[in-house]
Amino acid sequence: MAEEPRLTPIRKRLPKRALIPLMEFCEWFTKNGEESPTELFRKLLECMLKYKEYFFDQPWPKRFEYEKVRHFELREAYFIFEGGEEEETFYRFLLVILKRLINYEEGLTWELAFEWIYRDLVEYLEKVIEEKGEE
């Protein structure tokens, strides 16, 4: 009898290397806002756990590859739009971006890629809204 292949378990946590860059991201992101870096960090971690079925549904990639992370899927748009309230939608939006920036090599590749991915996601969501409006 053939042995069944073993599946690599998905670890439902962030790579350790991602924590410090995530804190740095929170400091940068909140510079001109009302929320403190600590509040944003806490809220992001809470949302990661709240939406763990989405956020931790795949193993983290070994390294950041821009071409792979800039193409979005319809399920990500639905995840964002299901947020309902503006604040909830905002945090879901950030989770979609952060999920694409996390990797084992660097932890969180946000300094170079966040704004690009942000723009790409906004363009994608606008396209989805436009297409849904035409149906």
For residue 21, give both structure tokens.
Answer: 């860059």
CA dihedral 14, 30, 37, 110 (to 10 degrees): 20
Q: How confident is the model over 57-67, as a mean pLDDT?
A: 90
Q: What is the pTM of this model?
A: 0.85
- Residue 129's pLDDT band (cuts 50, 70, 90): very high
pLDDT (0 to 100) of residue 38: 97
Residue-wise pLDDT tens digits, 25-53: 999 999 988 899 999 999 999 999 999 99
* Model pLDDT, residue 11: 59
Does the pLDDT value for residue 132 go beyond 70? yes
Check if the beta carbon of residue 47 is closer than 8 Å to that of residue 95.
yes
Largest distance between two CA atoms of the chain: 63
Angle at 104 between CA 99 and CA 109, to 5 degrees: 55
Q: Domains of the chain: which residue ranges?
A: 16-134
